[in-house]
Structure 1
Amino acid sequence: MSVKAACAVVLLLVVVPVAAFTAGCSSHTPQTPPAPPPAEAFEAGRRAYEQGNFEQAATLFAAADTPQAKVFLGQSLTRDAAKKAFTAYDAALRADPGQGDAMEAMGLLLANQGETAQAKPWLIKAGTTGGLSPEALLRLGDIFLAEGNCREALAAYEKAAAPQVGYAPAVRRLEAVRGLCGGKAVPASGQGKAARNGAAEADPAAGLYGQGAKSGRTGASQTPAKQKPGPKTIDLNDI
């Protein structure tokens, strides 16, 4: 056999097995399953949503691609983001229970979800760590107002509407609420800034809003003293 022929044989012996191996591997590559039909994807998305699997629900609603599915997609994305935010704030508070920003953020998150009973103590305790942001003061004022507690509601609104803060939504709320509650708020006692490094923790009922509104804050707080129910409840839709 000539040298040229021998080289050709060796080349075949090397190339053919490699080609066969490559073909075998490609035939076993996992294939992406086809997307389910829109109706099936929509129903699967609803089941995932009801089970609290919002990320999975969002994927399924996106696959359904119908006007109604797009609405559910938006809701799933919102709920998924809130769930992840809650987890992050909870982790921050477990690592540092006195983290005022995390307290306020937790309170705002719960308040925006309508969980005002859970949001209230977080916001009150956050106020004892150095003051609340204007947005948090407004939300806390709304919670007090819904309970019929005009005194504390007006105090919170006045903090957020103070000239040095001038939070426009609080200014508008204050003007409307004064007509419902009448007069100006009586200053709450003990609204000084709580010491961050004191041996004893400040009473959450005292120093309710720290030293007024603090722009840029996003924190919340622990369990405060229980508030007595007001003589009546006020619907925010009335103002």
Structure 2
Amino acid sequence: MNRPEIHVAFASELHVFLAGERRRGATALRTDGVSALGHVVESLGVPLTEVGALVVDGREVPASHVPADGERVSVETVQRPQRVPGAPLRFLLDVHLGTLARRMRLLGVDTAYESTDIGDPALAARSAAERRVMLSRDRGLLRRRELWAGAFVYSTRPDDQLRDVLDRFQPELRPWTRCTACNGLLREASKEEVADQLKGGTQRSYDVFAQCRECGRAYWKGAHHEQLEAIVERALAEFSPGHSG
């Protein structure tokens, strides 16, 4: 029996996942006649987390669709903003995205982060158990079926990573409300309450403090505050409705 031949075209945003010869418009592909279209797309290197509509001969089909001979398939990218139904919008980042995790927490976005490599099965299980969107540059991790939801982080630059995540998911921004170290919520604190964490110069120069409810870490407007303020202001200006700067 001849194997079905289909023609597959990918949205330009997905070309980063494809081998060079598949980036030049629709390409012919032999399938086994039993595999679902979602499996075919992933076998070409594209995680389904990055796929929006699958359109076959002009009609949208589910990832479980089994392609037939002669079908023309268009693989579209995820629409933005992407909605994740059924749970508050929360994130989980792998060991390689520490700077992005700290910046998301700085903006008040609920962001769990694994500072050690606990392995793909454990990350996927945590994503499912806590209903968190898994952010990673690991395509293999994003192909795991047990993930609650996931997204590929396209850039290696933290500024671009943050902008991409905020543009794609548009989470509510509540800057200066989370601990950048552990993701816990912050509360106002007196100088006396955090005195054991202050050096002499800090104790003399600052009077306004916050403290993490979870790990107890103290925060104040120290030497790096202007840099952090710039990150916050850029994010609010671009992604917070009604923000006037």
Greater helix share, structure number: 1
Which TM bucket (shorter chain)? under 0.3
By relative contact order (CA 8 Å, sep 6+), the higher-ranking structure is: 1
Scaled by the length of structure 2, the TM-score of the pair is 0.24
Higher strand share: 2
**For the pair shown, which has the larger CA radius of gyration, 1 or 2?**
1
Q: TM-score, normalised by structure 1?
A: 0.25
